[in-house]
């Protein structure tokens, strides 16, 4: 009876795993799953199910990249950190303990942020004399592919480089990883109220700088 009742959910989770694994294999973006499905994938991945492991990877790899890109100097650094963080996540699933009110994404992005911080301490972002970030080798492979988006990306990178590390981490967790104030608080060891205050301040600074940088004529008025 119990086995019969659990069969459909196992079959569904297998299908979800398979679909996500195929998506990951072919480089497609995986459909976001709810926390219940993620918890099932974690359980399967812990038992050595490669499909579940692929599915978890596909769920979080781009989120991790978006989170760490704003914290680091170059696309190459972000790629390395994403790779190291995803490997750390997939090989330490046995240490993960679910907590109520904290999503699995918070655990994943905390690992990513700690990996990025270690990298950041070794290689701080450098601004040139004109206040611009140095060109990166993959500038020509900008994901957006259009000029406005590339300009916005560049303005965002410059504006982020001007923020203190703590503020940069917090805004990256908010907008890159889509975490809420209490999840960010538990990731960096701060009170949610403090996180909200820092977010508000950083949002204003970022907004002003991005608008000035992406619209230089308007800034000189």
Partner 1 sequence: MNEEDLGAAWTAFQPAAIQRRRIDARVFAWLEARDTSLASEWLQLFRIEPFSAAGLAAASAISIATAPPLVWLAGALI
Of the candidate residues 20, 45, 51, 66, the single one contacting partner 1 (CB under 8 A)? 66
70 binds partner 1 (CB under 8 A): yes
Give the C-alpha distances (Å, rounded to integers) separating 207 from 28, 133, 200, 211: 31, 18, 11, 6
The one among 42, 61, 188, 213 contacting partner 1 by CB under 8 A: 61
206 near partner 1, rule: CB under 8 A: yes
Using CB under 8 A as the binding rule, whether residue 210 contacts partner 1 is answered as: yes
175 binds partner 1 (CB under 8 A): yes
Q: Is 135 left (phi over 0), alpha (psi -120 to 50) or beta?
A: beta
List the one residue from 39, 83, 96, 201 that touches partner 1 (CB under 8 A). 83
Q: Minimum distance from CB of 198 to partner 1 (Å)?
A: 14
Q: Whose CA is closest to 88, among 65, 104, 69, 111?
A: 111
19 counts as binding partner 1 under rule CB under 8 A: no
Q: Is 134 exposed, middle or buried (0-12, 13-18, 19+ CB in 10 A)?
A: exposed
Structure tokens that stand for 184 in this block: 């960010």
Q: Residue 16, interface with partner 1 (CB under 8 A)?
A: no
Nearer to partner 1, 8 or 145 (CB): 145
By CB under 8 A, tell whether 119 contacts partner 1. no
In the list 138, 191, 216, 219, the residue contacting partner 1 (rule: CB under 8 A) is: 138
Residues that bind partner 1 (CB under 8 A): 24-25, 27, 50, 53, 57, 61-62, 65-66, 69-70, 75, 78-79, 82-83, 86-87, 90-91, 138, 141-144, 149-150, 152-153, 156, 171, 175-176, 178, 203, 206-207, 210-211
């Amino acid at each position: 009876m119990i086995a019969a009742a659990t069969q459909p959910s196992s079959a569904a989770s297998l299908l979800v795993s398979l679909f996500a694994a195929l998506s990951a294999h072919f480089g497609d973006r995986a459909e976001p799953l709810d926390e219940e499905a993620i918890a099932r994938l974690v359980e399967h991945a812990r038992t050595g199910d490669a499909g579940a492991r692929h599915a978890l990877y596909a769920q979080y790899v781009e989120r991790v990249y978006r989170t760490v890109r704003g914290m680091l100097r170059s696309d190459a650094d972000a790629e390395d950190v994403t790779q190291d963080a995803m490997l750390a996540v997939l090989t330490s699933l046995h240490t993960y303990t679910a907590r109520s009110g904290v999503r699995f994404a918070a655990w994943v992005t905390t690992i990513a942020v700690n990996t990025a911080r270690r990298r950041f301490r070794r290689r701080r972002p450098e601004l040139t004399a004109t206040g611009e970030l140095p060109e990166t080798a993959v500038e020509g492979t900008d994901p957006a592919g259009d000029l406005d988006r590339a300009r916005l990306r560049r303005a965002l990178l410059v504006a982020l480089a001007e923020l203190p590390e703590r503020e940069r981490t917090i805004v990256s967790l908010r907008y890159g990883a889509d975490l809420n104030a209490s999840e960010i608080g538990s990731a960096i060891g701060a009170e949610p109220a403090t996180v909200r205050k820092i977010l508000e301040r950083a949002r204003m600074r970022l907004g002003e700088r991005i608008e000035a940088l992406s619209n230089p004529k308007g800034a000189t008025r």
